[in-house]
Structure 1
Amino acid sequence: MATFRRWLPQIALMVAVFLMLLVSNPREDLPTVGAIYAGMLAFSAMSLNLLLGARLRPVERLFGGMDKMFLQHRQFGYLALAAAVAHWLSPPSFPQFLAACDDLCKSAIEAGEIAFNTLAILGVFSIVRRWTFRGWRIPYQWWKWSHYLLLIAWWLAFFHLMQNRKMPAVYQQMAEILGLIGAACFLLYLLGWVLRMMRTKAYVVETVTRDQGVTGIRAHPRGKGIRHRAGQFAFIRARKPGLREAHPFTISGGEDRDGVVQFNIKGLGDYTKRLHADLKEGDTLVVEGPYGDFRYPDREGRQVWVAAGIGITPFLSFVRSMPDQIRGKVEMVYLVKTAEEAVALEEFEAAAARVDNFRFTLHPSAEKGRWPGVTPGPDLKAVLFCGPPVLRDMLKKQFGRKLHFEYFEF
């Protein structure tokens, strides 16, 4: 059931395009109708990916956060690739309309072939990037820049859809309708790009701390900073070689009006290790955001917060902005291998002493063994989690919709 819900947007698109084709009362043979359906489905999925890539806040809220929106972005990409392959393997044929295919029509047909090849190459590149070969994987920046080439594939597919006159008028009308919808998605993508530039602010790095492989960053804005709430994240990059690619990180503090932001970043990949080694006080940090919808429910009842490893960062922002009085009861557990690995332990202990109804427990597995898990009960209203996917999936099976989390896999 969970898998069905995860793929529900793609299923909805498949049904919508099918119903649209069904209304046209197709009279051709099944392979021909199927090929038309696959081609229109591929273009529709590519267009929706443009809309998701725009990072518009209403769309983000519709999907329940950017993490889930980008998960859908990836799945629409898989759908577009699969539909394009089906369309390419068995393209529709209308010999009776060959005479109507002028030079522009022929160019549109060739554009469709180029669009498919481009989509196929970049799709396989994106899939392969998720694999690791003997400790090496395709660098993020290679994938990011190659991803922009999908805009070329979309434009070629758009031209193919709008100018391929070698088919009955009823199908051409459908193609033009989908083309106009796709053009609207492209315009919204451009709008999103403009809004992202407006949400991008320059900061000056005040302090950089390094402890147990975790880089702590505190920065103040040059001019007006971003406005965010506890639990949100931002894309950050630095204006220096090796750190110019934007990556998402949770904002671990700085919800005050002075615009200061704080990050606690674990050196796990190439970029974060360079950040750990090269970022200095006085450097310029470029921050885009905020994004995300990870927050704790402000209501009566019991809730449990579970942080594992560097998944502590959103909870750190929670306790830094938490008032002395909160509704309900919060039980927080911080899972680490050893107590020495804990980040900002003193802040959580101070919050437990300061805030009524907030209890904090550190669980170092090397000392206490395996964590027994969350104790369920009728008074349990929510479980908030940030950490490794294996533990997240275990909690998801146990608590279902009571579990609040972000995928953070984009």
Structure 2
Amino acid sequence: MRISGLVLIALACLLPIIWFVPLAATRDPVALFSQYLGSSALVLMGINQFIATRMPGLETVFGSLDRIYVLHKWLGVIAMVAMGLHDIVDAEMNGLRGGPLAGIAEDIGEISLYGLLVLALASVITFIPYHLWKWSHRLIGIFFALAAFHFFFIEKPFSVADPLGLYISAFCLLGIISYLWMSLFRPMVPRGHGYKISAVRHLGGLTEIELKPKGRGLKHKPGQFAFLSINGSGLSEEHPFTLSGAPHEDRSLRFSIKDLGNYTRRLRREVETGMEATVTRPFGHFSMPFGRDPQIWIGAGVGITPFIAFAESLKSRETGPVKLYYCVRERDDIPYVVELEKIAEEVSGLELIIVNSAEGVRLTPDRVATDLGGDLSQAHVFFCGPVAMRKALRRGLVLKGLRASRFHFEEFQMRTGIGLSTLAEWLWDRGIYAIEKRRAARTQPAE
């Protein structure tokens, strides 16, 4: 995610301090800090509701949509922590007068807190079925509106009409409007591009869908993903999938979808040629750089899909030498290998390398460095596959001279837990990384 977006969010939370500090001269600072925590939670939740709208321009500020999903999760976690501390730390002050709704607002604040906590917990418990989670997730906006009601009418040492009150109110309204847009108005607004399914193929565990535009169609870049919904069926719910075909003049599209859940399994059974579909605008910044620098593409399993589009696009553009590692488990079950081999024959700078773990072969940083002649300083590495594999390769390649900023990947898991085990693993990996780096520095011959 982009630092510009993180800075804006941090400033949005810190700005109220300029109004809270003068109040500390006449009010209990502990209670005032509790109120600041509650205000910050409302600011974060308002921003979180807004970035969930997928409005144009959000990727420019916050980074690609996959990173925005990660940001959305962590903003929710931080907001829940702030709200929980606000409830734990005594926020009551003497000498305050509330309106006739102050008592009700106090009770509604408790309802909002526990409702949001339950829904936030459901969001990070990943074994809850997706359709149940998505249904419950829609209720978050209602509990956020209750939290805003709590803020508007609760006893507090400032008025809603004061600069501080107007500031917090603006984020409350932003969140409520964003929620109403997503839940009520957006479904009624025509969006996306109309398509008709022209071909359906089953390739092992993949379902390949080709679509022809009914109108002008969608314009995209290789490696991007889009939201697909099949009209007039039980498959009308939007789901994001990588576009596995390069852009074509007629703007036809291809999706290669792996059976990973209830929706994708139902899609495999029910999708048919002739069905109509809607595809939203493309998202993601996982795309090839221009220039003559060497490139390493690593696709594991279904992670090969963006590289099919990458490879096709090489027919119409010049780039540096490319090595495509296709990591698989069984040689006989490799979708697109024939297609990729044909493209590699047509494009002189593309080399396809099959890495078959069933034969005891593993892709390692040592092998990548050796294949590239030992110099990784000018290379770009693009990866799409399992997280554990990505972390191991990135760590090893950086130790061998790859610039960390040149290791490109997408967070293609749209729903994840809060990652306490991941945090522990990250701390462990950082320790091992530091040890290995010091060891490499000691063993490197002096010039």
Over 6 Å off, 4+ runs: 189-193
Q: Is 1:407 equivalent to 2:411 in the alignment?
A: yes
Q: Is 1:393 equivalent to 2:383 in the alignment?
A: no
Cα gap change, 1:14/1:227 in structure 2, threshold over 3 Å: closer, same or farther?
closer
Deviation track 1:110-131 (CA, whole Å, cap 9, x = no partner) reads: 3322221221121111122x1x
| Contact preservation (8 Å) 2:47, 2:171 | no
Q: Is 1:65 equivalent to 2:67 in the alignment?
A: no
Cα gap change, 1:119/1:30 in structure 2, threshold over 3 Å: closer, same or farther?
same
| Contact preservation (8 Å) 1:233, 1:249 | yes
Letter in 1 for 2:173: A
Report the CA distance between 1:215 and its aligned residue: 0.6
* Structure 1 Cα separation of the partners of residues 153 and 50 of structure 2: 23
Partner in structure 2 of residue 42 of structure 1: 41
Unaligned runs of 5+ in 1: 131-136
* Structure 1 Cα separation of the partners of residues 385 and 345 of structure 2: 25
Partner in structure 2 of residue 126 of structure 1: 123
Letter in 2 for 1:123: A
* Structure 1 Cα separation of the partners of residues 279 and 225 of structure 2: 10
**Aligned with residue 141 of structure 1, among 131, 153, 156:** 131
- For residues 156-195 of structure 1, what are the structure 2 equivalents within 5 Å? 156-169=146-159, 173-184=163-174, 186-187=176-177, 194=186
Partner in structure 2 of residue 384 of structure 1: 382
Deviation track 1:263-286 (CA, whole Å, cap 9, x = no partner) reads: 111112221111112211112222
- Secondary structure of the equivalent of 1:174? helix
- Secondary structure of the equivalent of 1:73? helix
**Aligned with residue 301 of structure 2, among 304, 309, 317:** 309
* Structure 2 Cα separation of the partners of residues 366 and 237 of structure 1: 36
Letter in 1 for 2:109: G
| Contact preservation (8 Å) 2:242, 2:306 | yes
Q: Is 1:221 equivalent to 2:218 in the alignment?
A: no
| Contact preservation (8 Å) 2:42, 2:171 | no
* Structure 2 Cα separation of the partners of residues 259 and 224 of structure 1: 8
| Contact preservation (8 Å) 2:256, 2:305 | yes
Report the CA distance between 1:92 and its aligned residue: 0.8
Partner in structure 2 of residue 134 of structure 1: none
* Structure 2 Cα separation of the partners of residues 148 and 10 of structure 1: 26
Cα gap change, 1:88/1:38 in structure 2, threshold over 3 Å: closer, same or farther?
same
| Contact preservation (8 Å) 1:335, 1:362 | yes
TM-score by length of 2: 0.81
Letter in 1 for 2:302: I
* Structure 1 Cα separation of the partners of residues 310 and 188 of structure 2: 25
Task: Give aligned pairs, total.
Answer: 398
Letter in 2 for 1:403: F
Q: Is 1:291 equivalent to 2:291 in the alignment?
A: no
Partner in structure 2 of residue 101 of structure 1: 98
* Structure 2 Cα separation of the partners of residues 20 and 408 of structure 1: 39
After the TM superposition, which of the residue ranges 24-33 and 293-302 deviates more from structure 2? 24-33
| Contact preservation (8 Å) 2:201, 2:207 | yes
Letter in 2 for 1:90: V
Partner in structure 2 of residue 26 of structure 1: 24
Report the CA distance between 1:409 and its aligned residue: 1.4
Report the CA distance between 1:210 and its aligned residue: 0.6
Cα gap change, 1:21/1:360 in structure 2, threshold over 3 Å: closer, same or farther?
farther
Partner in structure 2 of residue 336 of structure 1: 328
Q: Is 1:362 equivalent to 2:354 in the alignment?
A: yes
Q: Is 1:110 equivalent to 2:107 in the alignment?
A: yes
Report the CA distance between 1:46 and its aligned residue: 0.3
Letter in 2 for 1:383: V
Partner in structure 2 of residue 234 of structure 1: 226
Unaligned runs of 5+ in 2: 399-403, 415-447
| Contact preservation (8 Å) 1:196, 1:288 | no
| Contact preservation (8 Å) 1:301, 1:380 | yes
* Percent of residue pairs bearing the same amino acid type: 31
| Contact preservation (8 Å) 1:161, 1:176 | no
Cα gap change, 1:383/1:198 in structure 2, threshold over 3 Å: closer, same or farther?
farther
* Structure 1 Cα separation of the partners of residues 394 and 16 of structure 2: 33
Partner in structure 1 of residue 445 of structure 2: none
Report the CA distance between 1:241 and its aligned residue: 4.8
Report the CA distance between 1:188 and its aligned residue: 5.8
Report the CA distance between 1:10 and its aligned residue: 9.8
Partner in structure 2 of residue 133 of structure 1: none
Partner in structure 1 of residue 88 of structure 2: 89
Q: Is 1:155 equivalent to 2:145 in the alignment?
A: yes
Report the CA distance between 1:77 and its aligned residue: 0.5
After the TM superposition, which of the residue ranges 386-395 and 16-25 deviates more from structure 2? 16-25
Partner in structure 1 of residue 14 of structure 2: 16
| Contact preservation (8 Å) 2:144, 2:176 | no
